[in-house]
Structure 1
Amino acid sequence: MTAAQVEGSPPDDIDSSYSWFRLFIGVLISTISGVGMWAVLVILPRVQIDFGITRAEATLPFTMTMFGFAAGNVLFGRVVDRLGIVASLAIATTLIVIGYLAASVAPSLWPFALSHLLIGLGSAAGFGPLVADISFWFKKRRGVAVSICASGNYLAGTVWPPIVRFMMDKYGWRATIVGIAVVCAVAVPPLMYFLRRRAAANNAGANQVVTTTQQAFGISPNALQWLMAIMGLGCCVAMSMPQVHIVAYCADLGYGVARGAEMLSLMMGAGIVSRIASGFIADKIGGLRTLLLGSFLQAVALVLYLFFDGLVSLYIVSMLFGLFQGGIVPSYALIVREYYPPQEAGARVGTAIMATIIGMALGGWLSGAIYDWTGSYHMAFVNGIAWNALNLTISVWLLTRPGLPRLSPRTA
């Protein structure tokens, strides 16, 4: 038996019943800790009124959440590579609780926004770093496992908005976010107990890199990382327009905040279906081709928003948007696992996810600014379509590289 097998998980644990149980626990943790990304969107209109600020200014707390989320994916990705997922989650949960308690007593916009920087930083550990950890426990169904784990973030977007809206209407937004802090403090630590075993990071069978970046694309590993960063920025600036502003958009159209929260929940629910389905697809065609498919379909949904703004049609288009784009972000993690050494997984996945979150932050602010400039969201949707085209262009270019395998490394 090798030292790696003694220190880590034995090969028999790969694709085992424990692997699936670990995935289930991971999804639960991701769903709870993922509240940071979605609660702020629901309370945004109330915060704007209470603080007497513009729409773009009201988006600042979400932007700060995304910046924290972006940095946290890299920071906690490195923590996972060195100390494991439990240490990462313990630190992250503490940051979430502190952030929400501070936000609940914030007297003005800037303290409120800075509190959300901590919330975003802590919420990150339940996304990219947790996805990287889960990827080590699967080989045959890695695409499905990664996509299911990444769906925890969307499950949070499905579960939390209606809860936050109900609590906000009944108790106010300040008391609501105190309640969120309590839930995170009580629910996450017991679940961490089941993730104590270290991932099989050194198991060759589960973590073999069949084709390197140089072999596949004729470029260096860092060059591919930069391209993925640009792609992630483009796709998520586009993605952020409906996700960040659908509640405010519905309020502006006269449908009310409740209808917008329902559309956001529907969008995230459809995204869960999309993410799981994309995992099956990725296990057949690879992460890059799955990314291209999702990016193209997302562009289609954004175009539909330009032509349909009736109440029923917005429900339908929001559902389609969730179905079309849900598999995009997990594809970056799969690309990393297909073309990079396993010991770099946490940091590489975290960096790729960081770029997507920066795209969400930039897109959320930019859409709000365009709204303030033009008085409507029409040009904000056009802006999203343009950024999506950047992602499509790079994806197509990579797929034309002569060394790219015809099949995913796991099916070749």
Structure 2
Amino acid sequence: MSDTITDSTYSWVRLLLTLAIAMVANAGMWVIIVIMPAVETEFAAGRADASMPYTLTMIGFAVGNFAIGRAVDRYGVTASLVAAAIGIAVGFGLATLSQSIAMLSLAQLLVGFASAVGFGPLIADISHWFVRRRGIAVALAASGNYLSGAIWPMILAGMLEDTGWRSVYLFMSVITLAGVIPLSMALRRRLPQEAQAAAQTRSLQNASSAGLSPRALQYLLGLAGIGCCVAMSMPQVHIVSYCVDLGYGPAVGAEMLALMLLGGVGSRIVSGLIADRLGGVKTLLIGSALQCLALFLYLPSGGLVSLYVVSLIFGLSQGGIVPSYALIVREYMPAREAGARVGFVMMATILGMALGGWMSGWIYDVSGSYQLAFINGILWNGLNIAIMLWLLSRSRPRTPTAVPA
């Protein structure tokens, strides 16, 4: 331990453990994207129907962020992680028994719900252990989600081709139990009461300066989160299917998804450093504007090289958006409610991903092209930008300081 409770040596060690757990726990929301073409073929489904397991995954992931976030506030992060790891493993196992899209979708609902422990709840937990460097800490913790999406599709692509998607799911069931539960035992330590009290006072001062109640701000952030993530979902959810349609194959699509998410990791880290200087609202606005620009670049792109380039640009543009919501929550809302408040806003962003994933598939089925789906994403992105501009006009967060031991 250093001479402070927050931003200490232990805080950074805890962050590394959090990142490792997130990389495993978040796999459930990405594996379904990789197997989507195989599921579409096996069950002779349309693109919208084949998107339903992903949509149910994200609905479960959304609700899980809020419900498990509340559990972390009450019972601590370790107990929540152990229970969730078991839930993920059971969900993967049930999915292998599926004989229809509906059965797979229900199993994915459980996978998504339990996988949520690796996102909002972990972000909320690590945010308590940093003050001066909270931006980069939250960004790194949130990067576990993208690293999971970048790493697992590449690892599992060969297994999927050789032995089928059910073998992939059984493998991930074992990996989740073996990875999450042992690591979670190292996070049993609780933040001291004096640090919690100081954070509570600071957040209440910020909330007063903004002129919004925590509930009003929470709902406003939720609406903004839906807007940005409907837009974000178009490339992330459908890039593999898009590449199949263009004749490039699912392996190329998986590479583009990995490239996109690796770019997102870099973007999240840079955004975290920016947020430590500018705060969450300005950082989110910058990311949202860049994401909108990247979506425009997809419209003329159809060649192999151009899609690789634009996918990287998209990842570099939007990675810092979602972590910025957690920072805004911590800047303006009660610290003791961090798990539930962060969980609610993360739930809204993920519902946006679920809505956008289904909506893009539906637009494709109706129009026979993804062009209108990209335009739909751009319009939703505009809603997010408008809300952030309005909030920026009233935001005056106080500069954080470390809490002495």
TM-score for the superposition, normalised by structure 2: 0.96
The reply on whether 1:140 has 2:151 as its aligned counterpart is: no
Q: Is the 8 A contact 1:73 1:125 kept in 2?
A: yes
Q: Is the 8 A contact 1:139 1:207 kept in 2?
A: no
Structure 2 Cα separation of the partners of residues 258 and 58 of structure 1: 18
CA gap 1:234/1:103 in 2 versus in 1, 3 angstroms: same
Amino acid aligned to 1:230? L
Q: Quote the sequence identity (%).
A: 54
- Displacement, 1:212? 4.4
CA gap 1:411/1:139 in 2 versus in 1, 3 angstroms: closer
Amino acid aligned to 1:226? Y
Structure 1 Cα separation of the partners of residues 187 and 85 of structure 2: 15
- Displacement, 1:186? 1.2
Q: Is the 8 A contact 1:275 1:330 kept in 2?
A: yes
Given candidates 50, 55, 62, the residue that maps to 1:58 is 50
Structure 1 Cα separation of the partners of residues 223 and 216 of structure 2: 11
Given candidates 278, 284, 309, the residue that maps to 1:316 is 309
Q: Report the counterpart of residue 254 of structure 2 in structure 1.
A: 261
Q: Which runs of 5+ in 1 are unaligned?
A: 1-8
Q: Report the counterpart of residue 3 of structure 1 in structure 2.
A: none
Structure 1 Cα separation of the partners of residues 20 and 251 of structure 2: 26
CA gap 1:408/1:255 in 2 versus in 1, 3 angstroms: farther
The correspondence of residues 212-223 of structure 1 with structure 2, limited to 5 A, is 212=205, 215-223=208-216
Given candidates 285, 289, 294, the residue that maps to 1:296 is 289
Q: Report the counterpart of residue 398 of structure 1 in structure 2.
A: 391
Q: Report the counterpart of residue 114 of structure 2 in structure 1.
A: 122
Q: Which runs of 5+ in 2 are unaligned?
A: none
Q: Is the 8 A contact 1:285 1:408 kept in 2?
A: no
Q: Is the 8 A contact 1:10 1:200 kept in 2?
A: no
The reply on whether 1:195 has 2:195 as its aligned counterpart is: no
The reply on whether 1:26 has 2:18 as its aligned counterpart is: yes
Structure 2 Cα separation of the partners of residues 328 and 238 of structure 1: 12
Given candidates 262, 273, 281, the residue that maps to 1:280 is 273
Q: Report the counterpart of residue 234 of structure 2 in structure 1.
A: 241
Amino acid aligned to 2:110? L
- Displacement, 1:265? 0.3
Amino acid aligned to 1:145? A
Amino acid aligned to 1:44? M
CA gap 1:360/1:200 in 2 versus in 1, 3 angstroms: farther
Q: Report the counterpart of residue 376 of structure 1 in structure 2.
A: 369
After superposition, the C-alpha distances for 1:210-269 in whole angstroms (9 at most, x for unaligned) are 564653332222111110000000000000000000000011111111110000000000
Structure 1 Cα separation of the partners of residues 73 and 22 of structure 2: 19
Structure 2 Cα separation of the partners of residues 272 and 37 of structure 1: 17
The correspondence of residues 330-345 of structure 1 with structure 2, limited to 5 A, is 330-345=323-338
**SS of residue matched to 1:13:** coil
Given candidates 11, 34, 45, the residue that maps to 2:37 is 45
Structure 2 Cα separation of the partners of residues 411 and 12 of structure 1: 11
After superposition, the C-alpha distances for 1:96-137 in whole angstroms (9 at most, x for unaligned) are 000000001111111110000000011101100000000111
Structure 2 Cα separation of the partners of residues 218 and 370 of structure 1: 40
Given candidates 163, 172, 181, the residue that maps to 1:180 is 172
Q: Report the counterpart of residue 410 of structure 1 in structure 2.
A: 400
Of residues 35-44 and 207-216 in structure 1, the stretch that sits farther from structure 2 once superposed is: 207-216
Q: Report the counterpart of residue 5 of structure 1 in structure 2.
A: none
Structure 2 Cα separation of the partners of residues 141 and 214 of structure 1: 20
Structure 2 Cα separation of the partners of residues 214 and 16 of structure 1: 26
Amino acid aligned to 1:364? G
Amino acid aligned to 1:233? I
Structure 2 Cα separation of the partners of residues 266 and 193 of structure 1: 32
- Displacement, 1:162? 1.0
**SS of residue matched to 1:255:** coil
Structure 1 Cα separation of the partners of residues 207 and 330 of structure 2: 15
Q: Is the 8 A contact 1:284 1:408 kept in 2?
A: no
The correspondence of residues 143-154 of structure 1 with structure 2, limited to 5 A, is 143-154=135-146
Q: Report the counterpart of residue 346 of structure 1 in structure 2.
A: 339
TM-score for the superposition, normalised by structure 1: 0.94
Structure 2 Cα separation of the partners of residues 385 and 11 of structure 1: 47
Structure 2 Cα separation of the partners of residues 391 and 201 of structure 1: 36
**SS of residue matched to 1:307:** coil
After superposition, the C-alpha distances for 1:145-175 in whole angstroms (9 at most, x for unaligned) are 0000000000001101111211101111111
Q: Report the counterpart of residue 36 of structure 1 in structure 2.
A: 28
Structure 2 Cα separation of the partners of residues 164 and 64 of structure 1: 22
Amino acid aligned to 2:6? I
After superposition, the C-alpha distances for 1:72-92 in whole angstroms (9 at most, x for unaligned) are 001111111011000111111
- Displacement, 1:208? 4.5
Given candidates 67, 70, 80, the residue that maps to 2:62 is 70
CA gap 1:211/1:297 in 2 versus in 1, 3 angstroms: farther
Q: Is the 8 A contact 2:203 2:334 kept in 1?
A: no
After superposition, the C-alpha distances for 1:341-372 in whole angstroms (9 at most, x for unaligned) are 21011100000000000000000000000000
Matched length: 401
